[in-house]
């Protein structure tokens, strides 16, 4: 959530950033924010003045009572009663203005970093790095949704029987590949200085608002209406919310957490060949890395996280590229996002497997996540997160890129985790 003072003091910069995002009616909404804030401040000032007057009269009443001037005291008592009613009315008015202001701020996305390219869709994203050799599989290449049937390692039909489309059942070496990747990703994160946490996979409404999934993605999250809980779309939500309403010390930073969770997304409206097989699921496994940093160091941390994810892809021997997302393709809460895509040789297309983002103070303002600096002044921390990694498309690429007449060869780094070197 943007700070009102930022909108007020840097109106032109905020407006330019929202226009880079192609955010409709940006100027009108920002103007409304300032007007509501002015209204809130005016009612608060008036309330404080009336409260001060009421307090002064109360003191006068006390003095009169001590002097035995009861009748005079009773005469001015009625004025304090009237003032208290006015104070209550202004408090209610101020509370309403604050709620309206917060609701309006929730509709405004984060301001892009200056390096974010302009653009409206994924076609406008900027390729900043590419690594690896795309394998030539020849004319007999087979997409992963056919490979998994041939080797009986993932069963979509059983998933449909049990839950519905988008909930696959992993079997035999397919299940072992899932487990191997999860353990590999967690071990790598621990070696890189991240602390492992195992958070809940259901979160409350406050957690959804804290990291920005609510109200922006409410329709994309599975919701348990009876208890008003949401199945997490990513471990970013519970892990970052560990620090909601927390004041850290500067010495605590950076905080580096990693967690494995299943993730759940309704993916309403998704259909077509590009979401076939493992390309898009309602339930999938993911290892997530989260950092809480000092504002001065967050972009260095972002580059380090990007390099870390790229290191995982290199160890898995997968060709990949790094994209800097344009304003029109960025997530609602992000200031700058790098996407990592691996090349699927059988599908002949790039598949996103990780997003690494810096949210600056957008999430921490919602979370009230702060730290005390060396001067004991309290300020908002910066939050970052990244997929390290999401499993389905990694699995799809490993299966497709490593297929051969005698089976599917596994990346060497996974052999000790798997207990086998090919399927």
Please state the residue numbers annotated as binding site for L-serine: 234, 265, 288, 385
Annotated binding site: 234, 265-267, 288, 352-355, 385
Token representation of residue 395:
């699995």
- Give a three-class secondary structure readout of the chain: CCCHHHHHHCHHHHHHHHHHCCCCCHHHHHHHHHHHHHHHHHHHHHHHHHHHHHHHHHHHHHHHHHCCCHHHHHHHHHHHHHHHHHHHHHHHHHHHHHHHHHHHHCCCCCCCCCCCCCCCCHHHCEEEEEECCCCCCCCCCCCHHHHHHHHCCEEHHHHHHHCCCCCCEECCHHHHHHHHHHHHHHHHHHHCCCEECCCCCEEEHHHHHHHCCCCCCHHHCCEECCCCEEECCCCHHHHHHCCCCCEEEHHHCCEEEEEEEEEECCCCCCCCHHHCHHHCCCEEEEEEEEEEECHHHHHHHHHHHHHHHHHHHHHCCCCEEEEECCCCCCCCCCCEEEEEEEEECCCCEEEEEEEEEEEECHHHHHHCCEEECCCCCEEECEEEEEEEEEHHHHHHHHHHHCEECCEEECCHHHHHHHCCCEC
Annotated binding site for ATP: 265-267, 352-355
Token representation of residue 343:
């090349």
Compute the distance between CA of residue 160 and CA of residue 169 in angstroms, rounded to an integer: 9
Q: Write down the residue that tokens 């259901």 correspond to.
A: 202
Compute the distance between CA of residue 158 and CA of residue 181 in angstroms, rounded to an integer: 23
Region label for 348, one of left (φ > 0), alpha (ψ between -120 and 50) or beta (otherwise): left
Token representation of residue 111:
């301001």
Q: Which residues fall within 8 angstroms of residue 214, CB to CB, at 6 or more apart?
A: 205, 208, 221, 230
């Amino acid at each position: 959530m943007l700070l009102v003072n930022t909108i007020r003091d840097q109106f032109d910069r905020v407006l330019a950033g929202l226009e880079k995002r192609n955010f409709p009616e940006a100027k009108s909404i920002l103007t409304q924010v300032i007007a509501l804030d002015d209204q809130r401040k005016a009612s608060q000032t008036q309330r404080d003045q009336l409260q001060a007057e009421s307090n002064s009269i109360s003191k006068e009443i006390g003095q009169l009572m001590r002097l035995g001037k009861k009748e005079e005291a009773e005469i001015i008592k009625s004025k304090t009663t009237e003032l208290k009613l006015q104070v209550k009315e202004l408090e209610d008015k101020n509370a309403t203005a604050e709620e309206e202001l917060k609701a309006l701020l929730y509709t405004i996305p984060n301001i892009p970093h200056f390096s974010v390219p302009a653009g409206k869709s994924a076609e406008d994203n900027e390729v900043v790095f590419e690594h690896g050799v795309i394998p030539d599989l020849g004319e007999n290449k087979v997409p992963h949704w056919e490979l998994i049937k041939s080797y009986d390692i993932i069963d979509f039909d059983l998933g449909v029987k049990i839950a519905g489309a988008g909930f696959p059942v992993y079997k035999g070496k397919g299940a072992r590949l899932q487990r191997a990747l999860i353990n590999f990703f967690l071990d790598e994160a621990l070696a890189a200085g991240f602390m492992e946490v195992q958070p809940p996979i259901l979160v409350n409404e406050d957690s959804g608002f804290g990291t920005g999934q609510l109200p922006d993605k409410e329709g994309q999250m599975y919701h348990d209406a009876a208890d008003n809980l949401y199945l997490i779309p990513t471990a970013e939500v519970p892990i970052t919310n560990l620090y909601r309403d927390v004041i850290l010390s500067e010495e605590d930073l950076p905080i580096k957490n990693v967690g494995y969770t299943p993730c759940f997304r309704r993916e309403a409206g998704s259909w077509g060949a590009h979401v076939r097989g493992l390309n898009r699921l309602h339930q999938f496994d993911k290892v997530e890395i989260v950092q809480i940093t000092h504002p001065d160091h967050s972009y260095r941390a972002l580059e380090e996280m990007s390099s870390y994810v790229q290191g995982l892809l290199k160890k898995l021997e997968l060709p990949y590229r790094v994209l800097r997302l344009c304003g029109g393709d960025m997530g609602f809460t992000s200031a700058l996002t790098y996407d990592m895509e691996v090349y699927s040789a059988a599908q002949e297309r790039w598949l996103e497997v990780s997003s690494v983002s810096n949210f600056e103070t957008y999430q921490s303002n919602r979370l009230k996540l702060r730290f005390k600096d060396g001067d004991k002044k309290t300020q908002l921390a910066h939050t970052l997160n990244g997929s390290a990694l999401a499993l389905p498309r990694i699995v799809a690429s490993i299966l497709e890129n490593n297929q051969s007449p005698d089976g599917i060869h596994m990346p060497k780094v996974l052999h000790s985790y798997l207990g086998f070197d090919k399927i």
